[in-house]
Amino acid sequence: MRTQELTLIGFGAIGRAVYQRMQAHAGVRITHIVVSEGKSAALQAELGSGVTVTHFVPQTTPLVLECAGHTALTDHVLPALQRGIECAVLSIGAMSAPGLPEQLQSAAEQGGTQLHLLAGAIGGIDALAAARQAGLDSVTYIGRKPPAGWRGSPAEQVVNLDALTEPTVILQATAREAARLFPKNANVAATLSLAGLGLDRTQVRLIADPGVSENIHEIEARGAFGEMQVRMRGKPLADNPKTSALTVLSALRFLHNRTASVVI
């Protein structure tokens, strides 16, 4: 088994979980972790000499995994691609920013490398991307949360979250508009859009539902392939309830496939 060296961007809940879980993986070695300059010394002291903590992506790294947030794509991933460094990203919601997908594609072409957009918290991306090859007619994402899950969002200007007694639609719009108004839901909607019909033709319906206690993701797609419906109730990380466990597992799957003899 060959060893894959990796630079990890970000060390929040997702980055820390990936780092911890990859310590037992013989095929992948995290050599560098990129954080802000003000945090690097403290994190280096915490992790010791087995990894180098820095505030930039080293030129010599062959692969980058981003799990830091939207600004990391412009600050780190874009220049890394231009230098020919292969990158995988989890903050796909940033791709809803006008012009950024084209900039990233151009950077990857300039560097002669690839940008991998990881599925993160949603399933069915492989089937949706395959169905696109024959033509898609419609793709809809439905995001359902308990009312408390929408606090601090524009939903508070649409409905009284404390008074809801039945499921209530708080937004029906394109994926681009949904990503702009509800950035915390942008990753799933943007991922579906990039796999399917694009940000302006993918429909998004966001629902505050007092009858549920979990975040629920649903996909409905129709096209030449037939019809597809996916419904997911994602569990959070045990050590961080604000983070989807499947997002971390999506990154681990990608890293495992880099060195596995059989890939699926």
Record the tokens describing residue 99, joined without a space. 């012009």
* Rounded Cα–Cα distance for residues 23 and 115 (Å): 24
Instruction: Tell me the DSSP string of 92-158.
Output: GGGGGSTTHHHHHHHHHHHHT--EEE--TT---HHHHHHHHTT-EEEEEEEEEE-GGGGTTSTHHHH
Q: Which residue, 88, 96, 95, 90, is CA-closest to 114? A: 88
Question: Is 196 strand, coil or helix?
Answer: coil
Q: Which residues contact 50 (CB under 8 A, 6 or more apart)?
A: none
Rounded-to-integer distance, Cα 67 and Cα 174, Å: 25
Q: What is the DSSP track for 172-183?
A: EEEHHHHHHH-G
Please tell me the distance from the alpha carbon of residue 251 to that of residue 64, in angstroms, as a whole number: 11
* Residue from 119, 129, 127, 120 nearest 196 by CA: 129
Q: What angle do CA 15, 27, 65 make, to 5 degrees?
A: 30
217 is catalytic: yes
Token digits of residue 243: 């983070």
Q: Considering the candidates 32, 70, 76, 217, report the single residue annotated as catalytic.
A: 217
The catalytic site residues sit at 217
